[in-house]
Structure 1
Amino acid sequence: MNIRILTFSLVAATFLAACSGDKQESKEKEGVETVLPSQPNEVTVMPLTKRVFNHELVSNGKITAHDYADLYFRTQEVVAHVWVKNGERVRKGQKIAELDLFKLNNALAQNKNSLAQATLEMQDVLIGQGYAPDNLNAVPADILQLAKVKSGYEQSKAQYEAAQYDLERATLVAPFDGVVANLFEKEHNMPTSGEPFCRVINTGGMEVDFTVLESELPLIKAGEKVEITPYASAAGVRRGSISEINPLVDENGMVRVKARVDGGDKLFDGMNVRVSVKRSVGEQLVVPKTAVVLRSGKQVVFTLKDGKAMWNYVHTGLENMDEYTIIDELEEGMVVITTGNVNLAHEAPVKVVENKE
């Protein structure tokens, strides 16, 4: 009885294994047919030739104002007038804001009177020493200095000049043509102590600060033209030139670069932008980016030979938005498959069609 059961079990196991093998073979066959379809893949091709390649270095940057001035009030008085607002363009010398001038005018008048009294006392000292007060050039330096000290002339003069300076600085004016920013104070209020009242930014001289890889450093130089594209698309593309390259590589292998750009009314301090540096690097073997696919993490380009796709490992060099340069493996004159190559295998049959673009 046990022998019969064992025999039956062996027969059943053999049958199940055979069925499983058939299913596995069917799946593998189905997988192969999926990768290598019976119909040839339709592809587009191009002959590989050497031509001038325009390298494009792309980076992210931030706009900063090259020229700006934070304006401060020197004295603590109530703000009497504010003539501008944030975002408003101002001309050099244009009034921006003014403090209440009553106390400042009064202080200047008092110091002016003190200076006049000190001048009279100094003249009395000189007369007592036998010198004419209206001809100070004839008075010896030590005698003149003694007269100024006794009369308090120098101290009164310094206080008068300080009061005059405070009065002049009680009215803020634009130091150059620009746009007003960070103006938050209101009339009839005391401005915040130690804080700038506002900032004037010269938008005609903006800078963009960006980074490049250490390996890309030989491809840029001072004076090179750049294109600046703000992520706020309404600002449009702006053109500038590289103004400085910081001779230091940071721990991430990056180098900081600055470029000058005319901002007009469209670029704001702190704006995020895309920076593009274009430069011709002579004749290179160039393929479209669509021609390069990845296989097991390696770059592959398929070439056409006798109606079949041939697998070629490659190393790409420089790149721009649409193309790569090829460093090795491929030779001029080969026919490169540019599209329809995503699911190709080595020696897969292909059908060449015209590029619809």
Structure 2
Amino acid sequence: MLRRRMLIMLGVVLLVVLSLGGYKAFSVYRQIQVFATPKPPINVAVVTANEQPWQSQLPAIGTLKALQGVDLSLEIAGTVKALQFESGQKVTAGQLLLQLDSDVEKALLGTAEAELGLAKIEHGRGSQLVGSQAISKGDFDRLAAQLKKAYASVAQLNAALAKKSILAPFSGTIGIRQVDVGDYLASGTMIATLQNLSSLYVDFYVPEQAVPKLAVGQIAQVTVAAYPAQIFEAKISAINPKVDDATRNILVRATLPNPGGELLPGMFASLHVLLPGANTRVVVPESAISYTLYGNSVYVVVPKKTAGGEPEKDAKGEPQWTVERRFVETGEHRNGRVVVSKGLSAGERVVSAGQLKLDTGAHVAISADKTLQAEQNSQPRVD
């Protein structure tokens, strides 16, 4: 009886072991089938690297300055007697702008001119008398010195009288006046600003590494916040011969015609200096570039090949595609596009969306980048 029970227990244990072993074998078989089944292709957006017109540019920011601009101020103190200009008026060189009270100087000038006349008469009489030895040579020298002193006094008073008025040093537009008739002004008081707006300077800084790319006469495209849709053309007129010790930048000046007078000194300007070089570049969307610490790369779409090196096709005869990761050198970025200077040829197709799911050799299904196409259709092309 005991033996029969032991045989039954052994049979039950054996049955349980066989059942577990069969279940495990079935699980392993299913896993093998899963791994043996080919993975479906990964859907990615693909664009073609095109060789497009591309003008190399050097971006910079600067400030507009007047070709000629001064703050008119007084050299001597006095009371304003007359103002000969209005705020915002255009004036010409030499035009009288302000006259201070000069009655005292005019009276002193009259006295000095009278003394000068007397000195001339005495000097003329003395020149006759010294010839006939009626006066000594020393007396005649004193008469000559008095004549020179009288001339100097008149010249001094004429200079002081000239400082009582302000003349426009050049033609331009005068700003808002800061004084009124009757004001007593101390020396150095600013009357108004005078700016020649026919042309402007654009002063901007560039890194010292960019100096070999710059030359006098190069064109710079300028935009300002006041007219964001308008591009103004300036021409580089001077390059500073010294690099700033603190910033390692160099000052560059461009001349900007301003016949309409719409641009004003002090405006903030954004510039793009047009650089010489090839006019075409291989260009791809910025979304196609993967940026890492080890370098920039793209996923290039290539035909999938069999072990024999032949292009692989599916059951319908359609070619199969895979990707290979390729490191590239990039250049300028502009309007969502980037120049690829090395590592990619025109006509090659690159993945522009879905790179996170990829690795070299991954099987992919190609679809056009509709988002990029919509952006290119809606935005004007700027090179």
Instruction: Compute the displacement of 1:72 (Å).
Output: 3.8
The correspondence of residues 113-124 of structure 1 with structure 2, limited to 5 A, is: 113-124=114-125
Q: Retained in 1: the 8 A contact 2:44–2:364?
A: no
Q: In the alignment, which residue of structure 1 is the partner of 2:67?
A: 66
Task: Report the structure number with the largest CA radius of gyration.
Answer: 2
Q: Deviations over 1:199-234 (max 9, x none)?
A: 322112321111112232222211001122122237
- Give the equivalent residue in structure 2 for 1:155: 149
270 and 98 in structure 1: CA distance in 2 versus 1, 3 angstrom threshold: same
Root-mean-square deviation (CA), in Å? 3.1
Once the two structures are superposed, residues 124-170 of structure 1 have per-residue CA deviations (whole angstroms, 9 ceiling, x without a partner) of: 32232137xxxxxxxxx999755311xx1111111112222333342
Q: Secondary structure at the match of 1:267?
A: coil
| TM-score when normalising by structure 1 | 0.74
The 8 Å contact of residues 203 and 253 in structure 2, kept in 1 or not, is answered as yes
Change (3 A) 1:110 1:238: farther
- Match of 1:340? 353
Confirm or deny: 8 A CA contact 1:53 1:281 kept in the other structure: no
1:177 paired with 2:133, answer no
The alignment status of 1:233 with 2:227, answered yes or no, reads: yes
Counterparts of 1:2-41 in structure 2, within 5 Å, are 40-41=42-43
In the alignment, which of 317, 328, 349 is matched to residue 314 of structure 1? 328
2:161 pairs with 163, 167, 185, which one? Answer: 167
Q: Which residue of 1 aligns with 2:240?
A: 246
Provide closer, same or farther for how the CA distance between residues 196 and 156 of structure 1 changes in structure 2, counting only shifts above 3 A. farther
Scaled by the length of structure 2, the TM-score of the pair is 0.70
Give the Cα–Cα distance (whole angstroms) in 1 for the partners of residues 339 and 268 of structure 2. Answer: 30
Q: Deviations over 1:153-203 (max 9, x none)?
A: 111111112222333342322222112247423321122323443332211
Distance 1:234 1:284 in 2: 27
Give distance in 1, aligned partners of 2:168 and 2:354. 62
Aligned equivalents of 2:150, 2:142: Cα separation in 1:
15
State how far apart, in whole Å, the 2-side matches of 1:313 and 1:220 are.
Answer: 30
Aligned residues: 308
Change (3 A) 1:334 1:121: same
Matched, 1:256 2:251: yes
Counterpart CA distance in 2 for 1:308 and 1:144 is: 113
User: Does residue 190 in structure 1 map to residue 184 in structure 2?
Assistant: yes
Alignment partners' CA distance in 2, 1:142 and 1:279: 77
How far residue 296 of structure 1 moved from its aligned partner, in angstroms, is 5.0
**Taking structure 1 as reference, are residues 233 and 92 closer, same or farther at Cα in structure 2, changes over 3 Å only?**
same
How many Å separate the matches in 2 of 1:186 and 1:44? 72
- TM-aligned CA deviation for residue 43 of structure 1: 1.8
Q: Does the C-alpha gap of structure 1 residues 114 and 290 become closer, same or farther in structure 2, counting only changes over 3 Å?
A: farther
Aligned to 2:45: 43
After superposition, residues 82-101 of structure 1 pair within 5 angstroms as 82-101=83-102
Which of 296, 299, 309 is residue 296 of structure 2 equivalent to?
A: 299
The runs of 5 or more residues in structure 1 that have no matched partner are 1-37, 132-140
C-alpha distance in structure 1 between counterparts of 2:118 and 2:102, whole Å: 24
The answer to whether the Cα contact below 8 Å between 2:78 and 2:186 also exists between their aligned partners in 1 is no
| Letter in structure 1 aligned against 2:255 | R
Q: Residues 80 and 100 of structure 2 are in contact (CA less than 8 Å); yes or no, is this contact kept in structure 1?
A: yes
Quick one: which of 329, 334, 338 aligns to 1:324? 338
